[in-house]
Chain A
């Protein structure tokens, strides 16, 4: 290289370095959060009338919770969470609401449970983008308002009767109504036709979920919600090579129902102990077992068994059918049960329920139907089976 080239290189590199050094110093001394703190102090001075409050030195604020392996720097910007005077201010300056439950904030002190235990998001981050997400490689972005209720289950095992967690109660009713347990496994209960529900939100975004057909952002929550709305659109399978579409029936859920079920599924995962984000035992609130219902007739008992086992998930409400099962004979639908008393004796019915049955394919070369009748003999007592068959016979109009 000619001498002049070295000279130019020297000049450019030196100025470049000086410039970049200034840029770094600026980035470092004027981080994003500093203007939120300045604005907070300005508003605080306005609200309290104490002008001196407007001049406070900026600093990173954090709640450090070593027991839970968390450090939450959310309060670096959300400075007013514990200041009741800021109740009428806009976010991020506003006071944390008490959800209309007296004593809520007293029972959930910020300096002991932090922020991300309930709201998720990236606690250590100090920029809005990274703290709220979604960003790559942080799999717990900030939960939106409608889903935050799921986080109650992190500590509360008594969500059935918990004040403020009514949406989880609602969701659980929907869960029973749709018969999810008929296919899915949950904490060792239920069936193995579908995946274990408590694990859904513990899977990794990149590898265990196919986002090819997902329209929105590539987050777990969004995958689950789009799948609830239209399972076959998100998982169309590869019928050509024998991989069927999603087995999950399309129940035509509306947005509200989707949000409820997503929150519930998330709560199943959060109930589990996590190695990465442990919850101290003293934070846990034990639940009470569900009361055993009483029945007046075998048919009523059978109906309860029908609901308990989640038969409704595939055979429809009152066994009226109408649930799609790809490439199954009988018109690609799970059989309705309304007229079983015409075709089967009680013993034959019991045998099918006990041993299960695998549906025949409509197209011999197509994929195997994703839904099948599992064997229920482990899940049922003989007495329950009798009641269930009684109920099935009673369905005949």
Chain B
């Protein structure tokens, strides 16, 4: 024993060792600080954090886990790249080889697939949790915007990866997705007021072709493995840097008996400024929790990967369209909207509005209450609208993913699909354009009437100013237009409210 510790001491005192590890591992406050400060990776953390940010039920670990999943996906993805060739000839058969002959191939592919799904889900949930605890309010507005871009990149990463197995599931999901690009107004060949041909429109830029083929596979591969991860890393560094500079948003909460009396954390902190100053070392308090959370999710994903294989359908065949062809699950909500809107609205305008609307939130929400803790009581309008949007998004995904069968007909989840059931989409009619225009004007008019007259006092309290008020109303009206159209079509058999077929412009 004495000999061994002598050897260990010699190693630790050697120049080589000390050149790498610049401090000892003794548990002293100085070393706890140095653990973070002298490590390029760990120093994305602050040295000390408020105890409130350690509470699991504050963050649910979603942001950190999303990033950990990104790392896991990078590692499994790099290993997969050793076995995968992005050509129409080989891609599918490389999947088969991964499944049957590559050492640990099934584990690699399954982990990559399931982790990707979980990451998309976690990033969305992370955004929701940030919203509900007002962590986007000043000074963190810009970081929320970066987060929305990261959400978009996550979707695109998952979507581009969806094509790579080159099976029926892949090409038809991507066909559905990229056909939406062809419906872009002006820049899509099938969109309203189109100025381009199928050979130079938005879809062609994505696919390098009018159809999903070799050129599209290569483009998606390069986007998936190089360009998008690179963009993600750059933006996520920015994201973390801002979190580090602006501190974690969590604020100390008053004791339960105070809370029961209705004392807001903001008031309580003013009375107890010393509590707000209390901090603990990140190492080991936060780092250990991050580590355990990452370990737990790895274990869960490994178990999932052992139990279920990543889907691989038949070899891609451009001549055999599966019925129904569904987009990846996170886009199925938009695909579901195709029933009610033309592709240029469901696939281009609405997603753009969603992204722009999300980015605008911190600049429109002037309510100073609720920063750093979950507060629904004092921000009913904000949480109400956001929750409505979130529920609509997931309900549409649920309906599209589990309740749509052949011909995009409605089936209950327990009903068996019937490819020969006659269509229910009969007897639809368009509103006369004059009436439709009137209807649209009336819808907008009612909205603005509400905001200017009926809810005048309420909007005054939002401190938006006339421009901000108009912007909020545009987004709110757009959000509620979706159920309006759903009701009009399903209960009044209205296909279009306003239609200019010559310009492909139908609402």
Cα of A9 to Cα of B56 in the assembled complex, Å: 13
Cα of A243 to Cα of B100 in the assembled complex, Å: 45
Nearest chain B CB to A24 CB, angstrom units: 5
A212 in contact with B418 given A10-B295, A126-B101 (CB within 8 Å): yes
Q: Is A377 an interface residue (CB 8 A)?
A: no
* B282-326 residues at the A interface, CB under 8 angstroms: 288-289, 291-292, 295-296, 298-299, 302-303, 306, 312-315, 317, 320-323
* B320 and A13 form a contact (CB under 8 A): no
Q: Which residue of chain A lies nearest to B311 when distances are taken between CB atoms in the complex? A: A137
* A9 and B306 form a contact (CB under 8 A): no
8 Å CB contact of A210 from B103, B419, B422? B419
Number of contact residues on A: which range applies?
A: 35 or more
A55 contacts across to B, CB distance below 8 A: none
Q: Is B96 an interface residue (CB 8 A)?
A: yes
8 Å CB contact of B418 from A21, A23, A125, A210? A210
A125 contacts across to B, CB distance below 8 A: 96, 99-100
Q: Which residue of chain A lies nearest to B323 when distances are taken between CB atoms in the complex? A: A207
Q: Is B97 an interface residue (CB 8 A)?
A: yes
Number of contact residues on B: which range applies?
A: 35 or more
A243 contacts across to B, CB distance below 8 A: 420
* A137 and B299 form a contact (CB under 8 A): no
Q: Is A287 an interface residue (CB 8 A)?
A: no
* A207 and B406 form a contact (CB under 8 A): yes
Cα of A238 to Cα of B419 in the assembled complex, Å: 12
Nearest chain B CB to A94 CB, angstrom units: 23
8 Å CB contact of A138 from B103, B107, B314, B422? B314
Q: Which residue of chain A lies nearest to B314 when distances are taken between CB atoms in the complex? A: A137
A212 contacts across to B, CB distance below 8 A: 416, 418
Nearest chain B CB to A104 CB, angstrom units: 30
8 Å CB contact of B320 from A28, A126, A204? A204
* A6 and B288 form a contact (CB under 8 A): yes
Q: Is B240 an interface residue (CB 8 A)?
A: no
8 Å CB contact of A17 from B97, B295, B420? B295
Q: Which residue of chain A lies nearest to B296 when distances are taken between CB atoms in the complex? A: A13
* A24 and B104 form a contact (CB under 8 A): yes
Cα of A365 to Cα of B321 in the assembled complex, Å: 34
* A28 and B295 form a contact (CB under 8 A): no
Cα of A1 to Cα of B306 in the assembled complex, Å: 29
Q: Is A20 an interface residue (CB 8 A)?
A: yes
A124 in contact with B100 given A20-B306, A204-B314 (CB within 8 Å): yes
Between B56, B93, B100, B288, the greatest number of chain A beta carbons within 10 A of the residue's beta carbon is seen for B100
Cα of A16 to Cα of B97 in the assembled complex, Å: 28
Cα of A124 to Cα of B95 in the assembled complex, Å: 10
Q: Is A144 an interface residue (CB 8 A)?
A: no
A20 in contact with B299 given A13-B292, A210-B419 (CB within 8 Å): yes
* A73 and B100 form a contact (CB under 8 A): yes
8 Å CB contact of A28 from B96, B104, B167, B288? B104
* A23 and B306 form a contact (CB under 8 A): yes
* B100 and A126 form a contact (CB under 8 A): yes
Nearest chain A CB to B127 CB, angstrom units: 22
A17 in contact with B298 given A124-B93, A212-B418 (CB within 8 Å): yes
Q: Which residue of chain A lies nearest to B94 when distances are taken between CB atoms in the complex? A: A124
B96 contacts across to A, CB distance below 8 A: 122, 124-125
Cα of A355 to Cα of B8 in the assembled complex, Å: 101
B103 contacts across to A, CB distance below 8 A: 28
Nearest chain A CB to B242 CB, angstrom units: 27
B289 contacts across to A, CB distance below 8 A: 6
Cα of A1 to Cα of B60 in the assembled complex, Å: 10
Cα of A126 to Cα of B105 in the assembled complex, Å: 13
B321 contacts across to A, CB distance below 8 A: 207
* B420 and A210 form a contact (CB under 8 A): yes
Q: Is A60 an interface residue (CB 8 A)?
A: yes
* A204 and B322 form a contact (CB under 8 A): yes
Cα of A173 to Cα of B100 in the assembled complex, Å: 43
Q: Is A276 an interface residue (CB 8 A)?
A: yes
- Return 17 A-B CB contacts under 8 Å, by A number: A1-B56, A1-B57, A9-B292, A9-B295, A10-B291, A13-B298, A24-B306, A125-B99, A126-B101, A137-B167, A137-B313, A203-B320, A204-B317, A207-B322, A208-B419, A210-B420, A241-B422
Residues of A within 8 A of B (CB): 1, 6, 9-10, 12-14, 16-17, 20-21, 23-24, 28, 60, 69, 71, 73, 122, 124-127, 130, 137-139, 203-204, 206-208, 210, 212, 238, 241, 243, 276
Given contacts A17-B295, A20-B303, 16 further A-B contacts (CB under 8 A): A1-B56, A6-B289, A9-B292, A17-B298, A24-B107, A122-B96, A124-B100, A126-B101, A137-B167, A137-B168, A204-B320, A206-B322, A207-B322, A210-B418, A212-B416, A276-B317
